[in-house]
Amino acid sequence: MTFSTLRSTPRPRRRSIAVGGLAALVSVALAACGGPSASDSPSAASNISAGSGTGTLKVWALDGQSAENTAIQKIVSDFESSHPDIKVKMQFLPADSFAKALQTSSPADLPDVLEVDGPQIANLAYGQKIAPLSDYVSEATVQNQTDAVKGQNTVDGKLYAVSMMNSGLAMWGNKKLLDKAGVTMPKSASEAWTADEFTEVLRKLSAVVPNGKPLGIAENNGLSSEYGIYGFSPVLWSAGTPMIANGKASGALDSDTAVNALKKFASWKQFTNPDGDGTAFQSGQVALNWMGNWMYPAYDKALGNDLVVGPLPNFGKGAKTGSGTIAWSLGGHTKNGAAAGKLLDFLMSDPVVSTYTAANGAPPATKTTAASSPLYGAGKPLAFLRDQLDAACPTEDRLTKQCVAVSRPVTAGYPVVTSSFGKALTAIWGGADVAASLQAAARAIDRDFVDNNNYK
């Protein structure tokens, strides 16, 4: 019991808000039963129209880092000056409530153009909150998207979003500590340490770090949250199994392959620094850190020339990395599709993508800018990450030994996949039985799929 709950007369109020939302929902939903829009399966008919190609566009953007916001605002005002008959009404939504706002809004209330989180795209498409956009953005824009982002942005063969940026995972190393232990960072995904070699590497490194725990996996991000599935599903992919195969988690997520891979992963906890404040790598307590590209600026600043980067360990079927992040979509009910398409084309143009990715340091998601990026271009500090993203699988049902970048499962049931996997991963990391945890997660996912008629 806490004061924060108390301060706002917690339970009744918290619940009444939740339940109030539910009540509103159910009444809307029940009303829909008798209405003309009632149908047991969502119709594929389009709710959007092209409009005049002029007028005012409503846009929802994520309230991100201030540099990103400034960049977006400048980009949008540039767009307005180059398209004098289109006005843009921007609204920034705070990150922590962005997903909830999308989830709880009715499709008709959504704006013409909005940012969406990569793994949620299939779910939003299923809820008709976003619309396929190939008819509204130019062919050139679509062609210029990298395969890695097309993987996350495509649902049932239709493109629902376009991306300015992507993301990737890597093993970041502290060269000074690696040298001390006689360990060399692999240079490419094909040279990645096998899981057994990695155990040996950790054992050697544990002798050279102050508390004998040389590995960081950003436990401070939490394993039950979205970071859990993003950061650690590469373990399964690298072992050779997707999380969902043929619309079912049973047989994939809880396969022997998956169980053995996560057992191996959990065995590294003894070498893992809890890193409660997320600074153990920067301060030299951790020699190897399992992390995404977004921490590069902080690592570069702390370690400078001692920062080295390499692939995650190979669990048998080639090293893998996660891919995918925030992208841009058309609102599922926009009546101004033509103008919205123009805005998306503009957002995906080279100068805009360069400006934006320079502001936040993310890998560009368009082919033309990725090659020339000052961070990710050939010979540049993070070229390794781009090489990984260029070797895109790109989705988990198309794993091969050579491909590296994989998008999280593209399914309308994603919310249940991420929450079930996160729960299982947390339990496994805490020492629970791996097979039992994964079986429970697989059952929860399959139950949700069956309850929802497989999201057909």
Residue of 69, 138, 199, 225 interacting with another protein (CB under 8 A): 225
Q: Which helix (H) or strand (E) holds 88?
A: strand 86-94
What CA–CA distance (Å, rounded) separates 420 from 414?
A: 10
Contact 166, 326 (CB under 8 A): no
Which residues within the stretch 412-451 sit at the binding site for another protein (CB under 8 A)? Answer: 415-416, 418-420, 423, 426-427, 429-432, 440, 443-444, 447-448, 451
Ramachandran class of 379: left when φ > 0, alpha when ψ lies in -120 to 50, beta otherwise: left
Complete DSSP assignment for 107-145 = GGGS-SEEEE-GGGHHHHHHTTSEE--TTTS-HHHHHHB
Q: Is 127 in the site for another protein (CB under 8 A)?
A: yes
Q: Is 10 in the site for another protein (CB under 8 A)?
A: yes
Q: Is 360 in the site for another protein (CB under 8 A)?
A: no
Enter the tokens of residue 353: 């993508």
Task: Find the shortest distance in angstroms from Cβ 100 to another protein.
Answer: 7
Each residue 370-409 as x (binds another protein by CB under 8 A) or -, in order, gives ----------------------------------------
The residue behind tokens 């890193």 is 275
Q: Which stretch binds another protein (CB under 8 A): 3-11, 63-71, 80-88, 319-327?
A: 3-11
Which residues within the stretch 59-88 sit at the binding site for another protein (CB under 8 A)? Answer: none
Identify which of residues 187 and 443 has a Cβ nearer to another protein in the complex.
Answer: 443
The residue behind tokens 């097979």 is 435
Pairing, β 321-323 against β 392-395: unpaired
Task: Find the shortest distance in angstroms from Cβ 456 to another protein.
Answer: 10
Which residues within the stretch 231-270 sit at the binding site for another protein (CB under 8 A)? Answer: none
Per-residue CA distances from 254 to 63, 241, 273, 295, 316 (Å): 37, 10, 27, 32, 17
State which amino acid sits at residue 224: S
Residue of 224, 260, 360, 454 interacting with another protein (CB under 8 A): 224
What CA–CA distance (Å, rounded) separates 107 from 102?
A: 9
Q: Which stretch binds another protein (CB under 8 A): 68-76, 197-205, 215-223, 238-246?
A: 215-223
Q: Is 2 in the site for another protein (CB under 8 A)?
A: yes
**By CB under 8 A, how many residues form the interface with another protein?**
75
Task: Find the shortest distance in angstroms from Cβ 4 to another protein.
Answer: 5
Task: Find the shortest distance in angstroms from Cβ 20 to another protein.
Answer: 4
Q: Which stretch binds another protein (CB under 8 A): 32-40, 142-150, 242-250, 300-308?
A: 32-40
∠268-402-195 over CA atoms, to 5°?
15
Q: Is 19 in the site for another protein (CB under 8 A)?
A: yes
Task: Find the shortest distance in angstroms from Cβ 414 to another protein.
Answer: 10
Identify which of residues 166 and 418 has a Cβ nearer to another protein in the complex.
Answer: 418
What CA–CA distance (Å, rounded) separates 145 from 287?
A: 35
Q: Which stretch binds another protein (CB under 8 A): 33-41, 66-74, 141-149, 308-316?
A: 33-41
Closest CA to 168 of 1, 329, 393, 345: 393
Q: Is 38 in the site for another protein (CB under 8 A)?
A: yes
Q: Is 220 in the site for another protein (CB under 8 A)?
A: yes
Kindly provide the b/e burial profile for residues 2-28, where b requires at least 16 CB atoms within 10 angstroms of the residue's own CB.
eeeeeeeeeeeeeeeeeeeeeeeeeee
Closest CA to 237 of 169, 329, 191: 169
Task: Find the shortest distance in angstroms from Cβ 269 to another protein.
Answer: 8
Contact 63, 92 (CB under 8 A): yes
Which residues within the stretch 319-358 sit at the binding site for another protein (CB under 8 A)? Answer: none
Q: Is 108 in the site for another protein (CB under 8 A)?
A: no
Identify which of residues 5 and 372 has a Cβ nearer to another protein in the complex.
Answer: 5
Task: Find the shortest distance in angstroms from Cβ 26 to another protein.
Answer: 5
Here the contacts of 294-302 (C-beta below 8 Å, separation 24 or greater) are 294/167, 294/360, 294/361, 294/362, 295/172, 296/361, 296/375, 296/381, 296/382, 297/361, 299/172, 300/381
Each residue 273-292 as x (binds another protein by CB under 8 A) or -, in order, gives xx-xx---------------
Q: Is 89 in the site for another protein (CB under 8 A)?
A: no
Residue of 70, 82, 372, 452 interacting with another protein (CB under 8 A): 452
Residue of 222, 247, 297, 374 interacting with another protein (CB under 8 A): 222
Per-residue CA distances from 180 to 207, 272, 403 (Å): 9, 19, 32
Q: Which stretch binds another protein (CB under 8 A): 141-149, 218-226, 256-264, 348-356?
A: 218-226
Q: Which helix (H) or strand (E) holds 428?
A: helix 414-429
